[in-house]
């Protein structure tokens, strides 16, 4: 009896007239996130002035990300295909990075374009430096917390966008500069 109840709770609930087909979770999502995530720690004496974790949303990672999103949101095939197509189109137009940042001075923890914020981001590709097209702070949703498990409750979530004119296929280096120092993270 209890087993039947548990099986009923675990099965999908009909939506409209048709059952929603189960979308399997990517087996290696945690490994894919770990492989794509870089970490930067900046220190002032014995204090961490900035702890930054970043993931680059390249086309390969986006495929895994969208599969996980489809699993978590119970998306049907047309919605999954549309989300993946939109995500891959964005990857062709922009280099997008999701950043989780924590700093000793939280009031000064702002990223921006140009000199309007204390912390600045530049992307280097083939020796060419590019400034961000947009950097926005984002209040993490429960979905964001599942998709970006490197984000902690003490950190703030940021999305940084750079034009692919900076370089599409070469290694990318994200440089972070600010009042607590400077550092770099790289992706191939």
Alpha-carbon dihedral 169, 123, 38, 112, rounded to 10 degrees = -140
Question: Do 66 and 57 meet the contact criterion of CB atoms below 8 Å apart?
Answer: no
Check residue 25 and give its pLDDT: 67
Question: Do 147 and 65 meet the contact criterion of CB atoms below 8 Å apart?
Answer: yes
Check residue 23 and give its pLDDT: 55
- Given the structure tokens 């280096």, which residue do they identify? 173
Check residue 136 and give its pLDDT: 94
* Helix H or strand E segment including 125: strand 119-125
Cα of first residue to Cα of last residue in the chain, in angstroms, is: 54
Phi/psi of residue 16, each to 5°? 65, -130
Check residue 121 and give its pLDDT: 93
Closest by CA to 139, choosing from 160, 117, 151, 156, is: 156
Check residue 24 and give its pLDDT: 54
What is d(CA 123, CA 173) in angstroms, rounded to the nearest whole number?
Answer: 6
Q: What does the radius of gyration of the chain's CA atoms come to, in whole angstroms?
A: 19
Task: With a cut of 70, list the residues of the chain below it in pLDDT.
Answer: 1-25, 114, 168-169
Kindly report the pTM of this predicted structure: 0.82
Check residue 129 and give its pLDDT: 87
């Amino acid at each position: 009896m209890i087993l039947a109840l548990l099986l009923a709770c675990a099965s999908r609930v009909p939506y409209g007239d048709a059952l929603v087909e189960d979308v399997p979770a990517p087996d290696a999502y945690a490994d894919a996130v770990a492989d794509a995530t870089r970490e930067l720690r900046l220190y002032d004496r014995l204090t961490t002035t900035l702890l930054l974790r970043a993931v680059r949303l390249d086309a390969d990672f986006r495929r895994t990300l969208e599969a996980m999103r489809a699993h978590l949101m119970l998306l049907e095939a047309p919605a999954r295909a549309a989300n993946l197509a939109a995500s891959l189109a964005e990857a062709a137009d922009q280099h997008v990075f999701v950043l989780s940042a924590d700093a000793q001075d939280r009031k000064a923890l702002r990223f921006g374009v140009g000199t309007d914020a204390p912390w600045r981001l530049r992307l280097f590709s083939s020796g060419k430096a590019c400034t961000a097209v947009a950097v926005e702070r984002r209040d993490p949703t429960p979905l964001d917390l599942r998709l970006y498990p490197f984000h902690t409750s003490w950190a703030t979530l940021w999305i940084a966008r750079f034009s692919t004119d900076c370089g599409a296929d070469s290694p990318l280096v994200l440089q972070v500069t600010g009042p607590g120092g400077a550092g770099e993270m790289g992706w191939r």
